[in-house]
Amino acid sequence: MTRLALLLMTIALPVQAGEIWVTNEKDDTVSVIDADTLEVVKTYPTGERPRGITFSKDFSRVYICASDSDTVQVMDPATGAILHELPSGEDPEQFVLAPDDRHLYIANEDDAVTTVVDTESRTVVTQINVGIEPEGMAVSPDGKVAITTSETTNMAHWIDTGTHQLFANTLVDSRPRHAEFTADGAQLWVSAEIGGTITVFKAADQTELGKVRFEITGVNSDLIQPVGFKFTPDGKKAFVALGPANHVAVVDTATLAVEKYILVGRRVWHMAFSPDNAQLFTTNGVSGDVTVIDVAAEDAVKSIKVGRFPWGAAMRPTKG
Amino acid sequence: MSWLIALRAILHREALRFVGQRGRLVAALVRPLVWLFVFAAGFRAALGLSITPPYQTYITYETYIVPGLCGMILLFNGMQSALSLVYDREMGSMRLLLTAPLPRWWLLFAKLLAGTLVSILQCAAFLAIAALWGIVMPWQGYLAVIPALALGGLMLGALGLMLSSVIRQLENFAGVMNFVIFPMFFLSSALYPLWKMAESSPLLRDLCALNPFTHAVELIRFALYGQMNLPALGWVALALAGFAGAALWGYDPARGMQGRKG
């Protein structure tokens, strides 16, 4: 009954219009989903194997990691035209835009470096040596710390963005793939795909605060591979994509306990919230669709077919 | 007026039988619940079932089989009514019923209606337990499913009536189990979606698509999500007309099986 009431509430709320942009790894395209009608409205071609995707602060540009084209493409979201390409180092997989809206931190999977690119001068500022197979990228809300996780070294590398030097390396479980700071910058969360955990660090002194563990009845623990995750705006919950376990976990950020598992499509990677934060869109690689989760009800509402092997997701508000 | 008296008497008798036989109520509920909790739990994999209407996203197997289990309640109840008619015939109370100065079709309809009402109540109890277990439908679905259950119940009840006009002895009920209930239940979309059947054998799929029970289940499935499945509605109505017609013919003393042998 409460679930129903919550559902009705979310329907009654005024909806802020927006779009969810999804990169399709195998199709070399991005699919644009209307967050109101929950339908794909546009599909734009990109470079080869697009993965990470993020918007500039004013949403006038969208950055796309074209991994196999070894470049970061800058697209005009209004027309889908590629404006220009940025040097990115080899095989860029994930990246993060610094709070200054100018510097991109890019993980170069094949080169064991993190590349810092100035999006205005379109030049590489520096390359920082990190562990083998860097993948996850995060920047602290104050912009002072950047994080790269390396899949093979199993570490989170803490980078001082002022000096571009590593100042700490912390061990996490096997194959870390995604990192994210909490909104207040106090904690860093790092997901480990093979380890099947999320390690939570205190950002101030890089000490481990705890781990989130997952268990789904009837699902082999090998299949539970946490990858992308997002915090709710109030910071109370985290939604964690569990890869081939085909579920998204809802985690209480205070206790680090899992409250619920939501069934989504196959091999869930990453996710993005709708502009009003009432819905969450998850990319399901193998089933080639995006599942829409009602955030308040914590229930899957609909799955939308996109291109082949959707991977990254980002939100753009539109005038509605 | 006497028509209503007869209807009330038959409803009352069915209600008495229902309340009196506690075991029957429990059995009627336990059967689908065992399927839901044991069978579905075994099949509950990480993989959601592929998306087919009326579903909009991936669902667990447990969610999938709930409409099929409602259908199972209707099917077993329909056969149970048939069984009770055979029993009535053996005990002689049927002669009393059929000699009432009213059209025979009315008496049979009253019997059918009484059985269907009992079925709907059992389905409501089953859906309530499923909801407690976490399988919750949209609220419109719980209203929309009532006419779907009624139509499906009438159709399967009519099938039972038709069979009861043929079956002479209580012992033959095992045959009904083997040749009616099991094929109807397993060769339907109650346990597996039709596309899954098609993967193993297109012939099986076609048989399932012909089975009126499949359409009753699909009608219930769509109704539970507040949607209408017109083809299923058409097939169920057609089957109801067919079975009811055959039952009337079977109970007609001049022409039916009853007349020839009795």
User: pLDDT tens across A203-250, in order?
Assistant: 999 999 999 999 988 788 889 999 999 999 999 999 999 999 999 999
Kindly report the backbone phi and psi dihedral angles of residue B158, in degrees, each rounded to the nearest multiple of 5, phi listed first. -65, -35
* Averaged confidence pLDDT in chain A: 91
Q: Which helix (H) or strand (E) holds B93?
A: helix B93-98
Q: What is the amino acid identity at position A139?
A: V
- What is the average pLDDT across B70-75? 94
Q: Give contacts of B54 with chain A, Cβ < 8 Å.
A: none
pLDDT at B70 over 90: yes
pLDDT of residue B214: 94
Task: Pick A286 or B107 by higher pLDDT.
Answer: A286
pLDDT at B25 over 60: yes
Kindly report, residue by residue over B34-69, the tens digit of the pLDDT: 888 887 776 665 455 677 788 888 888 888 889 999
Which tokens in the block code for residue B163?
Answer: 């069979």
Reduced to 3 states, what is the DSSP secondary structure of residue B49?
Answer: strand
A5 in contact with B, Cβ within 8 Å: no
pLDDT of residue B45: 57
pLDDT of residue A5: 53
Residue A263 is nearest to which of B41, B48, B136, comparing CB atoms? B48
Q: Give contacts of B46 with chain A, Cβ < 8 Å.
A: 216, 218-220, 223, 244-247
pLDDT of residue B261: 47
Q: Give contacts of A264 with chain B, Cβ < 8 Å.
A: 48, 57-58
B134 in contact with A, Cβ within 8 Å: no
pLDDT of residue B262: 40
B58 in contact with A, Cβ within 8 Å: yes
pTM here is: 0.83
State the count of interchain CB pairs (< 8 A) between A and B: 45
Range of the structural domain that residue B119 is part of? 2-255
Instruction: Please check whether residue A278 is in contact with residue A294, taking contact to mean a CB–CB distance below 8 angstroms.
Output: yes
In a domain, residue B134? The reply is: yes
Q: pLDDT band for B250, please (50, 70, 90 cuts).
A: confident
| DSSP code string of chain A | -HHHHHHHHHHHSPPPPEEEEEEETTTTEEEEEETTTTEEEEEEE-SSSEEEEEE-TTSS-EEEEEGGGTEEEEE-TTT--EEEEEE--SSEEEEEE-TTSSEEEEEETTTTEEEEEETTTTEEEEEEE-SSSEEEEEE-TTSSEEEEEETTTTEEEEEETTTTEEEEEEE-SSSEEEEEE-TTSSEEEEEETTTTEEEEEETTTTEEEEEEE---TTS-GGG-----EEE-TTSSEEEEE-BTT-EEEEEETTT--EEEEEE-SSSEEEEEE-TTSSEEEEEETTTTEEEEEETTTTEEEEEEE-SSSEEEEEEEE---
In a domain, residue B165? The reply is: yes
Which tokens in the block code for residue A286?
Answer: 């193998």
Going A37 to A39 to A41 to A46, the CA torsion angle's sign is positive
Asked if B48's CB is within 8 angstroms of A265's CB, the reply is yes
- What is the average pLDDT across B2-31? 82
pLDDT at A199 over 70: yes
Asked if B56's CB is within 8 angstroms of A217's CB, the reply is no
B170 in contact with A, Cβ within 8 Å: no
How many whole angstroms separate alpha carbon B135 and alpha carbon B46? Answer: 17
pLDDT of residue B46: 47
Residue A303 is nearest to which of B46, B47, B58, comparing CB atoms? B58
Task: Pick A158 or A320 by higher pLDDT.
Answer: A158
Instruction: Please check whether residue A199 is in contact with residue A158, taking contact to mean a CB–CB distance below 8 angstroms.
Output: no
Residue B178 φ/ψ region, left for φ over 0, alpha for ψ in the -120 to 50 degree band, beta for the rest: alpha
A218 in contact with B, Cβ within 8 Å: yes
Residue B46 is nearest to which of A245, A300, A302, comparing CB atoms? A245
Instruction: Please check whether residue A236 is in contact with residue A252, taking contact to mean a CB–CB distance below 8 angstroms.
Output: yes
- What is the average pLDDT across A156-175? 94
Kindly report the backbone phi and psi dihedral angles of residue A205, in degrees, each rounded to the nearest multiple of 5, phi listed first. -125, 15
- What is the average pLDDT across B111-120? 90
In a domain, residue B261? The reply is: no
- What is the average pLDDT across A66-73? 92
In a domain, residue B86? The reply is: yes
Kindly report, residue by residue over A249-283, the tens digit of the pLDDT: 999 999 999 999 999 999 999 999 999 999 999 99
pLDDT of residue A12: 47
ipTM score here? Answer: 0.73
Range with the lowest mean pLDDT among A93-102, A158-167, B6-15, B70-79? B6-15
pLDDT of residue A4: 54
What is the percent of chain A where pLDDT is above 70? 94
B52 in contact with A, Cβ within 8 Å: no
**Structural domains in chain A plus CATH codes:** 18-317 (2.130.10.10)
Asked if A264's CB is within 8 angstroms of B44's CB, the reply is no
How far does B205 lie from chain A, in Å, by closest CA? 24
Asked if A301's CB is within 8 angstroms of B56's CB, the reply is yes
Q: Give the nearest chain A residue to B140 (CA atoms).
A: A4
In a domain, residue B51? The reply is: yes
Provide the domain count of chain B: 1
Q: pLDDT band for A45, please (50, 70, 90 cuts).
A: very high
Q: Give contacts of B57 with chain A, Cβ < 8 Å.
A: 263-264, 291-292, 300-303
Kindly report, residue by residue over B167-212, the tens digit of the pLDDT: 777 777 777 777 888 889 988 988 888 877 777 788 888 888 899 9
Q: Give contacts of B51 with chain A, Cβ < 8 Å.
A: 303
Residue A21's alpha-carbon distances to A265, A284, A310, in angstroms, are: 18, 14, 10
pLDDT of residue A6: 52
Q: Give contacts of A294 with chain B, Cβ < 8 Å.
A: none
Reduced to 3 states, what is the DSSP secondary structure of residue B54?
Answer: coil
Residue B47 is nearest to which of A246, A301, A303, comparing CB atoms? A246
Task: Pick B156 or B259 by higher pLDDT.
Answer: B156
pLDDT of residue B180: 84
Q: Give contacts of A246 with chain B, Cβ < 8 Å.
A: 46-48, 58
In a domain, residue B203? The reply is: yes
In a domain, residue B69? The reply is: yes
Kindly report, residue by residue over A81-102, the tens digit of the pLDDT: 999 999 988 888 899 999 999 9
pLDDT of residue B81: 79
